Amino acid sequence: MATEPAIERIKGLFKIKDLKQRFIFTAIVLIIFRLGTHIPIPGIDAKALGELFAQQLRGSFLGLFDLFVGGALSRASILGIGIMPYISASIIFQILTTSVPYLEKLQREGEAGRRKIEQWTRYLTVFVAAIQSFGISSLLTRFTSPSGLPIVPHPGLGFTLLTVITLSAGAVFCMWLGEQITERGIGNGASLLIFVGSLDTVPQEIAQTITLLKNGAVSIAAVIFAVAILFFLTAGIVYMNLASRKIPVQYARRIVGRKVYGGASTHLPLKMTTAGVMAIIFAQSIMILPYSLASFFPQLQDVMIFTQMFNPGHLLYDLIYGILIIFFHYFYTAVILNPRDIADNLQKYSGFIPGVRPGEKTAEYIDNVLKRILLPGALFIAIVAILPYYLSKLTNVPFYFGGTRLLIIIGVAQDTLQQIESHVITRQYEGLLQRGRLRRRRG
């Protein structure tokens, strides 16, 4: 009986025509993306590459990158670098808009300025994709499978050019798919592509765990312990994503003619994890840079040793990864939530925080509150992203990158559900307005 209302609510979502069309469109685009991750690049021995990832690279940085692109890299797919170049380009322009006056001015010009910045972001995506594609092609030519087979049987300039062009085109295609989902579907397109990709190896890892249990390589107690930890981590992530500091806001009364406006009390919710999953995605897009840059110096032994330190489990990797997560947690929050703009909007509509002067003092108060509540949220995300990897190593349960995957899955799922709820509320208001007009006409 308890599940009937939930089922009815799900059925009710598909009765809304616009929402139903968005669901179908999003599903079609995600299916196209998944099919694209199985189309191979010419000139690569996909079987040898799959063997290499399964036996040697699954727990490495390239394995983590493969998680973000839905297994496309380990299958030598044309979508092998996925949406990551677009995310890297977006980070660069978001940083520049806070430091370059011309870009900051464009950002404030409204829709026209944002479209110009988006156009430049697309151009930069092609450049970043070309660099990452060259790095991937250089790495593939140097790898061999555990059985000794070369990943690239016939390396050379022709293979490099073909791989760079193919992977760059695939990245641009992923960027276009993400934009289509954001505009005509449900949820954030780039996040949904990573969300779907992160589920790619889950069935395989479950089957591998069952096999290890049957063979006695993993104990039942270890599996139960790992599952319990993941369960509590899931509950903690959901709780932290919903946690917020509610700042009371009072609106002054205004008398216009015979009507009285304002006088209401409400609150301003500031979330502890405002950046959400974007901090993880941004940090990971930066962590690929050492591998991309090292591909330009394949003969330097010191460079290769340095890049080996950028694998999960190394102290340098974990330290930089955690710092980047905390940095982007603050940075992305500052981009989407400006205390100055909030204070100006409150003052514009005669709102104020009790005990705080409007204007500059209100902006300072909100900024101080954000600084205090964001730190525990950022530390929690960083810990969850790093520690479960060691849990997998300790218990020998093959759930690689469990923390990163959990943060992505839960964060994107909650954001998408919030967008669905917003669409439903909007349609309900529109329905009420239409019924109100009909009643007035009848009257």
Q: Which residues pair with 256 in a beta bridge?
A: 259
CA-closest candidate to residue 197, choices 371, 381, 73, 22: 73
Residues in the chain: 443
Check residue 41 and report its DSSP letter.
P
Distance CA 301, CA 102 (A): 42
DSSP H or E segment with residue 380: helix 360-395
Distance CA 346, CA 157 (A): 60
Could you tell me the mean pLDDT of each successive run of 10 residues in the chain, 443 residues long?
51 72 90 91 84 71 77 86 87 81 79 85 92 85 81 86 92 93 88 86 80 82 83 87 86 65 75 82 76 60 63 79 89 83 81 83 88 89 82 73 77 83 67 48 47
Which two structure tokens, joined as six digits, stand for 53? 């990832």
CB 384 within 8 A of CB 211: no
pLDDT of residue 2: 42
Per-residue pLDDT tens for 161-206?
Answer: 999 999 999 999 999 999 999 988 888 888 899 888 888 877 877 8
What is the residue whose two structure tokens read 């940083």?
95
CA-closest candidate to residue 427, choices 12, 5, 6: 12
Q: Is 147 exposed, middle or buried (0-12, 13-18, 19+ CB in 10 A)?
A: exposed
pLDDT of residue 203: 80
Distance CA 409, CA 189 (A): 14
Give Dmax over CA atoms of the chain in angstroms: 87
Distance CA 222, CA 224 (A): 6
Give the C-alpha distances (Å, rounded to integers) separating 401 from 44, 407, 431.
27, 10, 45
pLDDT of residue 11: 63
pLDDT of residue 9: 59
> Which residue segments constitute the domains of the chain, with CATH numbers given?
21-200 (1.10.3370.10), 220-433 (1.10.3370.10)
Distance CA 240, CA 271 (A): 9
pLDDT of residue 302: 60
Q: Provide φ and ψ at 265, rounded to 5°.
A: -115, 135
CB 44 within 8 A of CB 72: no
Where residue 312 falls (left for φ over 0; alpha for ψ -120 to 50; beta otherwise) is beta
CB 294 within 8 A of CB 306: yes
Which two structure tokens, joined as six digits, stand for 416? 């998408």
What's the distance, CA 49 to chain centroid?
26
